[in-house]
Amino acid sequence: MAEFALIDLIRARCAVAREDVRLGIGDDAALLAVPAGQTLAVSTDTLVSGVHFPKDTAPFDIGWKSLAVNLSDLAAMGATPAWATLALTLPDADAAWTAAFADGFAVLAREFDLALVGGDTTQGPLSITVTVHGFVPESLALRRSGAKVGDAVFVTGTLGDAAAGLALLQGPGVAGKAQEHLLARLNRPTPRVAQGLLLRARAHACIDVSDGLVADLGHICHASAVGAEIDLTLLPASPALLGLVAAEARVPLQLAGGDDYELCFSAAPAIATELLNDLARSGCAATRIGRIVAEPGVRVRAADGSLVASPRPGWEHFSP
């Protein structure tokens, strides 16, 4: 299958019509109209085979995840998704693989009314770079830098599932409903776009948890020149994680496992109840897990108030 046939295949499967796409795939560049009053939110993420997903991951899941991790960044800004470009590097032009990949990408694209507006298909080691574009009024955008001492700290959904799913793949294998849940959390993360929109003008700071809770909350603290304390007993865990992983193995997954794609945010304690109710109604509950403090750094406290030694910091490329 030749390059242009591959492009046509992807294009056909990912077709989403938007009035603001004045010129889509097929020219030297797409022409796009940003609505008045909106700023453009742009983010890009690369997934490399064998690094960001196991080499034998199903192409549908790779397609899904490559868009999901990017949508998660828009969610963390409180932005509404609009457009994406896809740079797909493939070792060979496998039509069945590419069709399944495009189908996984397209499920999320359709769910979020996102148009694929351009891309590049090249030959090389399997790697996917997606660049997403969304809209948010500048004054409502969620940044990392607005956390205030005294804020409560929250996280959506549950933590540690994806890391547990990865451990299953590397160890005992996947058999049973609970294992499948963890694997789905690894391979098909749900970008918290609706929750990001609910946080507009209410959260003081927000980030998506991709590298691990402690690392990503650390980015909020660094950007806001504050610190944070997390209560270990408050960390949300899924029934699947609770059922399959003992407490001592669970904690590092929840604190530093990575690939959660939940939103971690801070807000005034006075609006906590209202915020938590609104989020629960949105289909993804959030949990209050700690507080913003003046002392820099992220500390984790056990039930008795003692400090828990933090596990390795979150995932970092090129770490020794």
The residues that bridge with 123 in the sheet, in sequence order, are 90
The residues that bridge with 228 in the sheet, in sequence order, are 292, 298
140 belongs to the binding site for a second copy (CB under 8 A): no
Pairing of strands 286-293, 307-308: unpaired
297-301: strand order across its sheet: 205-209, 262-267, 152-156, 286-293, 227-231, 297-301, 307-308
Q: Decide whether 25 or 245 has the Cβ nearer to a second copy.
A: 25
Question: Minimum distance from CB of 200 to a second copy (Å)?
Answer: 13
Question: Minimum distance from CB of 293 to a second copy (Å)?
Answer: 22
Q: To which H or E segment does residue 41 belong? A: strand 39-48
Q: Decide whether 79 or 168 has the Cβ nearer to a second copy.
A: 79
Question: Minimum distance from CB of 291 to a second copy (Å)?
Answer: 22
Binding to a second copy in span 56-75, by CB under 8 A = 73-74
Burial of 2 (0-12, 13-18, 19+ CB in 10 A): exposed
- Taking CA atoms, 26 is separated from 23, 117, 145, 239, 288, in Å, by 8, 9, 39, 47, 47
Member of 96, 170, 246, 319 binding a second copy (CB under 8 A): 319
User: Which of 39-47, 153-161, 186-194, 284-292 is the region at the interface with a second copy (rule: CB under 8 A)?
Assistant: 39-47
Binding to a second copy in span 147-206, by CB under 8 A = 206
Tell me which residue of 81, 92, 93, 87 sits closest to 118, measured CA to CA: 87
Question: Minimum distance from CB of 27 to a second copy (Å)?
Answer: 5
Place of tokens 């609009």: 82
Q: Decide whether 179 or 224 has the Cβ nearer to a second copy.
A: 224
Count of chain residues binding a second copy (CB under 8 A): 72
Binding to a second copy in span 92-131, by CB under 8 A = 92-93, 117-125, 127, 129, 131
Residues 6+ apart with CB under 8 A from 12: none
Q: Decide whether 33 or 302 has the Cβ nearer to a second copy.
A: 33
Q: What is the DSSP letter of 29?
A: S
User: In angstroms, rounded to a whole number, what is the distance separating the alpha carbons of residues 261 and 283?
Assistant: 15
Binding to a second copy in span 72-91, by CB under 8 A = 73-74, 76-77, 79, 83, 85-87, 89-90
Q: To which H or E segment does residue 134 belong? A: strand 127-136
User: Which of 1-9, 107-115, 148-156, 235-243 is the region at the interface with a second copy (rule: CB under 8 A)?
Assistant: 1-9
Binding to a second copy in span 224-283, by CB under 8 A = none
8 belongs to the binding site for a second copy (CB under 8 A): no
Question: Minimum distance from CB of 50 to a second copy (Å)?
Answer: 8
Question: Minimum distance from CB of 22 to a second copy (Å)?
Answer: 6
Structure tokens at 149: 């001492």
Q: Decide whether 274 or 316 has the Cβ nearer to a second copy.
A: 316
Burial of 209 (0-12, 13-18, 19+ CB in 10 A): buried
